[in-house]
Amino acid sequence: MMIRPATPSDAEGMKAVHDEIFAAGLRKSPGDLAQVRANYIDAENRIGCFVAVDDEGRILGFQSLRHSWADNPYGVAEGWGIIGTHVSPRAARQGVGSGLFRATLAAAKVAGLENIDASIGADNALGQAYYEAMGFRTYRTTDGLVCKVYRVDQT
- Contacts with ligand COA, residue ranges (CB under 6 A): 21, 26, 85-87, 92-98, 120, 124, 126-127, 129-130, 133
Q: Which is nearer to ligand COA, 94 or 115 (CB)?
A: 94
Q: How far is the CB of 5 from ligand COA (least distance, A)?
A: 18
d(CA 60, CA 90): 8
Q: How far is the CB of 21 from ligand COA (least distance, A)?
A: 5
Q: Which residues pair with 47 in a beta bridge?
A: none
Centre a 10 Å sphere on the Cβ of residue 94 and count the other Cβ atoms it contains.
14
Q: Which is nearer to ligand COA, 112 or 141 (CB)?
A: 141
Q: How far is the CB of 143 from ligand COA (least distance, A)?
A: 14
Q: Which is nearer to ligand COA, 81 or 97 (CB)?
A: 97
* Residue 21 near residue 96 (C-beta atoms within 8 A): no
* Residue 59 near residue 31 (C-beta atoms within 8 A): no
Q: How far is the CB of 73 from ligand COA (least distance, A)?
A: 13
Q: Which is nearer to ligand COA, 112 or 126 (CB)?
A: 126
Q: Which is nearer to ligand COA, 93 or 151 (CB)?
A: 93
> Residue 151: which residues within 8 A CB-CB, separation 6 or more?
114, 115
* Residue 50 near residue 61 (C-beta atoms within 8 A): no
Q: How far is the CB of 87 from ligand COA (least distance, A)?
A: 4
Listing from the earlier edge strand, what are the strands of the sheet with 145-151? 2-5, 46-53, 59-67, 81-87, 115-121, 145-151, 137-142
